[in-house]
Chains A and B, each alone.
Chain A
Amino acid sequence: MNLSDLPAIQISQMIHSGQVSARQVTEAALDRIAAIDGSPPSLAPDAETSHETDKIHAFITVTTERALERAAEIDRRLAAGEDPGTLAGVPFTVKDIFCTRGVLTSAGSRILGNFIAPYTATPVERMEAAGAVMLGKLNMDEFAYGSSSESSAFQPSPRNPWDTSRVPGGSSGGSTAAVAGGEGPLSIGTDTAGSIRQPAAFCGVVGVKPTYGRVSRYGLIAFGSSLDCPGPVARNISDAALMLGVIAGADPRDATTPNVPVPNYLEGLEKGVRGMRIGLSPDYFQITFPDPHTGELQRAPIAPEIEAAVMKAAGRLAELGADIVENVPMPHTPYGIPAYFVISRVEAASNLHRYDGVKYGYRTPEMVDELAEMYRKTRAQGFGLQPKLRILMGMYVSAAQYSEQYYNRAQRVRTLLRKDFVQAFDPAGPYRLDALLTPTTPTTAFPIGDVYGDTVLMQYADQLTVPANHAGIPGISLPCGLDSQGLPIGLQLLGPDFSEATLLRIGRAYEMVTASDSWRSIKPAVLRSLA
């Protein structure tokens, strides 16, 4: 067994017991990166790199020296009889939207293409304080604006380890591709509309979007400040639980992290689901999508293979003693994307005004006569199409004459989206759910180039994940099979505020009952070709 294919918990145990050194584990991970990642992407990619279509291109920056120094430090501390932490020597990766001191932090954008962060984001700091070893920074949609990772200014963009002609999802596609490929068992991603869960589903890994505020946003380059949630990407539920316990909790540097104690997510993880009430909603088994020719919105049943996989999962949970509650109404689900088109754009536009070529980042090299011209040229050259689109839409729908009909309306629809969940989870209500079980995505991973360019259709990839961001509730995605093309299918569990422990427990029960299913022994394509 290659060290790179082991779970984080096992690696940590082996390092603590002296079976392997942190250095050996780090070197194995770096070897894996060298074998499957390909040449690093760039702002001016050459044709040769773009032709590496059998590689996954998850990384923007591999921090080899930093990782080896850090691993040596862990080994030294262990030799001195110290305990470097629960994640001692476990390799991890970071979406390039988290500041990491002394390391390029680009958010996948040319405008931050030379930005070396002067401080480190809280979730990264907490991983390192627990002994984990950062391998590098991962590619993503520019400023996290997308669902395929194709919009990065750093090309080539990440590819799906199960089929490198397909997208890994996004915007945390670098994170989920890296974890699926064994380039470190853990990664930190962010989820604003589904950006952890959707790529986790596409890449066959576990992704956790914690409750809003559960994990600090300090040091995270902001997208939609009322929606952004940092969270774990891992290959299994136990690793995700361990990692969440490390990064979660109040942070004096982020005033939106509430004073809610962080439970030990590993404790009780295997207590099973007997007596739990798990809901199914017909509103999550149909999809809304714009007609590619007319733009008119249509509704249709979800892909039959995905529906079948999720229903089968519900059956397995019922066999374990869960009460499956059918026909839970979630009537506002189809309005998640339209409301998101407004709210996320207003917040994104507001967050993007800071990039002006003055204090850090890109500045136009052209000679200019005055400051306003420098702003315009810098922003025109530094931002790609996706940030420009969000700036313009955000400014339009929040303009004084339009905000009542767009922004205020969307925020009131957001109230209704949350109400759907509050009613479903109400312990005194008719449904009294512990969790809602849904598909994570309407389709499996789509081919590179198929959707990119149509910004409306791309956004609808998030329609089953975005309601949780509006509501602030936690959600996880975990693998539940492969479709007829051999692509991973994700199932999603949604629960009330701060119910991560319950969701992980359900996920772990499902993992245990399906442990010997044949699809679980199938590896991503890029790993099958390794010696």
Chain B
Amino acid sequence: MSDEITREIFDHIVSLAALELDETEAEYLRQQLNNQLKAIHELEAIPLEGGIPPTSHGVPYSPEIKPTVRADKWHPYPNPAEILAQAPETDDGYILVPDIPHTDLD
């Protein structure tokens, strides 16, 4: 089992996460991640044989209490300008972003 998040792995995740870090931040975060990983390794002490299924959330939704799915209806927001006003940059109802360079897919 991998025991340490190396600088190489760390830099790869930072890039996938669309982050950029200064050197001090990077060192602190990598150290904290590795400390947390040590705690996570405690989980290996638990025997998980015998087909223990994963749990994605605690409370089971039995048919009696299963939430009713709401009708798939469109509810227009009364004032879209209010929502658009939250965007950092807009023009005539469009949200503006910096250039997206053209890339060829392999």
Contact = CB atoms under 8 A, between A and B. Distances in A.
Interface in A109-135: 115-116, 118
A335 B13 contact: no
Nearest to B52: A412
B87 A469 contact: no
A379 B19 contact: yes
A226 B68 contact: no
Q: Which of B2, B18, B61 has the most CB atoms of chain A within a 10 A radius of its CB?
A: B18
Interface in B25-41: 25, 28-29, 32-33, 35-36, 38-41
B42 A497 contact: no
A151 to B, nearest CB: 13
A406 B40 contact: yes
A392 B68 contact: no
Nearest to B85: A116
Contacts of A254: 67
B57 A256 contact: yes
B58 A469 contact: yes
A247 interface: no
Contacts of B40: 338, 341-342, 397, 406, 410
B98 A297 contact: no
A212 B13 contact: no
B56 A295 contact: no
Contact of B59 (A368, A393, A395, A497): A497
B58 to A, nearest CB: 2
B105 interface: no
Contacts of B35: 290, 295, 454-456
Contacts of B64: 259
Given A385-B25, A388-B25, A415 B36 contact: no
Interface stretch (A12-20, A271-279, A306-314, A355-363): A355-363
A106 B55 CA distance: 31
Nearest to A363: B88
Given A253-B70, A391-B17, A415-B54, A115 B86 contact: yes
A147 B3 CA distance: 27
A456 B10 CA distance: 18
The number of chain B residues touching the other chain, given as a range, is: 35 or more
B97 A374 contact: yes
Interface string A362-396: 11000011111111110110010100110111011
Given A252-B68, A255-B69, A413 B56 contact: no
A405 interface: yes
B76 interface: no
Given A338-B42, A341-B39, A369-B98, A416 B52 contact: yes
Contacts of A342: 40, 43
A337 B17 CA distance: 24
Contacts of A392: 10, 13-14, 17, 19, 29, 33
Nearest to B9: A396
B36 A341 contact: yes
Nearest to A471: B58
Interface of B: 1-2, 5, 9-10, 13-14, 16-21, 25, 28-29, 32-33, 35-36, 38-44, 46, 48, 52-59, 61, 64-70, 77, 82-83, 86-89, 95, 97-101
29 contacts: A115-B86, A226-B56, A250-B68, A255-B70, A358-B95, A370-B98, A371-B99, A371-B100, A374-B98, A376-B19, A377-B20, A391-B19, A392-B14, A392-B19, A392-B33, A393-B33, A406-B40, A412-B53, A412-B54, A413-B46, A415-B53, A416-B46, A418-B58, A456-B35, A459-B39, A470-B55, A471-B58, A472-B59, A473-B59
Interface of A: 115-116, 118, 211-213, 226, 250, 252-260, 290, 295-297, 332, 334-335, 337-339, 341-342, 349, 356-363, 368-377, 379-380, 383, 385, 388-389, 391-393, 395-397, 399, 402, 405-406, 408-416, 418, 454-456, 459, 469-473, 497
